[in-house]
């Protein structure tokens, strides 16, 4: 069976909980973890941007570490850790990075510097943007970008974030397609790139947090949504002095 290629070496299957783009939004992160606690998750993965934009960078880093999650760097993580410059960011984002850096401690910086831009195991690949120059954080918004990453993948499935919009690129028999459906059953010979959306700042018109569950035994990926206390997160952002735009967009999911 197809799923047999995705079981662990000892023959056991895995249920992965995959998150991305938490962006310092503690209220959203707590709601997602509460939901995942009922999903019998055996390993957590984070496709980057634990911090940036939100009011609780330290708390979100701490929670990620407590999950023992495998994490890769997002652009906000890398900039806050001093691993990339600020040229990438617009004015609002740059100010948020500077504020985030000022509200982190040495162990937070050390953690971010300890993780890489990509992660690969026998079952999956994890990257924030694309596999083409992952440290440049390109966006995967079209079939061409997806095709480049498919060509670079050494596994049959890759999980990404960065656009804050959940969706699945599929490649089978040379045909590349895209879907926004909630559940994808993986068929024999099919390869996937799954954007798991955003925990802390969704941009698909739905303000609810988004995350994914990958079940290797069932050979399926499910994109899930969960509501959180948006108003509380907004008030905390405004209290920090960060741009009101960062608070407003949470309510609209844009």
Q: Which helix (H) or strand (E) holds 150?
A: helix 143-152
Q: pLDDT at residue 4 above 70?
A: no
Confidence at residue 3, expressed as pLDDT on a 0 to 100 scale: 28
- pLDDT tens-digit series, residues 92-110: 999 999 999 999 999 999 9
Confidence at residue 190, expressed as pLDDT on a 0 to 100 scale: 94
What does the mean pLDDT of the chain come to? 93
**pTM check: above 0.85:** yes
Q: Which helix (H) or strand (E) holds 95?
A: helix 91-102
Cα gap 63→61, rounded to integer Å: 5
Q: pLDDT at residue 9 above 90?
A: no
Q: pLDDT at residue 90 above 90?
A: yes
- pLDDT tens-digit series, residues 115-162: 999 999 888 999 999 999 999 999 999 999 999 999 999 999 999 999
Q: pLDDT at residue 54 above 90?
A: yes
The band of 14, judged by pLDDT with boundaries at 50, 70 and 90, is confident
Q: pLDDT at residue 5 above 80?
A: no
**Across the beta sheet with 70-71, what order do the strands follow?**
70-71, 43-46, 15-19, 209-215, 220-226, 183-185
Kindly give the pairing relationship between strand 191-195 and strand 157-160. Answer: parallel
Average pLDDT, integer, range 191-207: 97
Cα gap 96→79, rounded to integer Å: 11
Of 4-18, 19-33, 68-82, 136-150, the poorest mean pLDDT is in 4-18
Q: Please state, for a pLDDT cut of 70, what percent of the chain lies above it.
A: 95
Domains of the chain: 2-8+16-249 (3.60.21.10)
- Enumerate the β-bridge partners of residue 183: 222
Question: What DSSP string runs through 26-67?
Answer: HHHHHHHHHHHTTTT-SEEEE-S--SSSSS-HHHHHHHHHHT
- Enumerate the β-bridge partners of residue 215: 15, 220
Average pLDDT, integer, range 186-213: 96
Q: Given phi > 0 = left and psi -120 to 50 = alpha, else beta, which region is 154?
A: alpha
Confidence at residue 12, expressed as pLDDT on a 0 to 100 scale: 57
Confidence at residue 7, expressed as pLDDT on a 0 to 100 scale: 43
220 vs 7, which has greater pLDDT?
220
The band of 2, judged by pLDDT with boundaries at 50, 70 and 90, is very low
């Amino acid at each position: 069976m197809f799923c047999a290629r995705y079981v662990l070496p000892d023959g056991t299957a895995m249920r992965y909980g995959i998150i991305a783009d938490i962006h310092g939004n503690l209220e959203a992160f707590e709601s997602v973890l509460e939901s995942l606690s009922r999903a019998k998750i055996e390993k957590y993965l984070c496709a980057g941007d634990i911090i940036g934009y939100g009011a609780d960078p330290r708390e979100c880093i701490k929670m990620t570490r407590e999950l023992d999650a495998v994490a890769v760097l997002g652009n906000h993580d890398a900039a806050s850790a001093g691993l990339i410059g600020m040229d990438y960011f617009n004015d609002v984002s740059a100010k948020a990075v500077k504020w985030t850096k000022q509200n982190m401690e040495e162990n937070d910086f050390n953690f971010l510097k300890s993780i890489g831009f990509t992660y690969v195991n026998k079952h999956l690949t994890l990257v924030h943007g694309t596999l083409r120059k992952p440290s440049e954080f390109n966006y995967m918004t079209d079939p061409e970008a997806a095709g480049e990453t498919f060509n670079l993948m050494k596994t049959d499935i890759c999980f990404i974030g960065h656009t804050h919009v959940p969706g699945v690129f599929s490649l089978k028999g040379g045909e590349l397609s895209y879907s926004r459906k909630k559940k994808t059953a993986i068929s024999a010979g099919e390869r996937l790139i799954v954007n798991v959306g955003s925990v802390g700042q969704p941009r698909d018109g739905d303000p609810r947090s988004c995350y994914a569950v990958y079940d290797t035994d069932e050979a399926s990926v499910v994109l899930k949504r969960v509501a959180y206390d948006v108003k509380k997160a907004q008030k905390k952002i405004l209290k920090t002095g960060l741009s009101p735009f960062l608070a407003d967009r949470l309510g609209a999911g844009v």
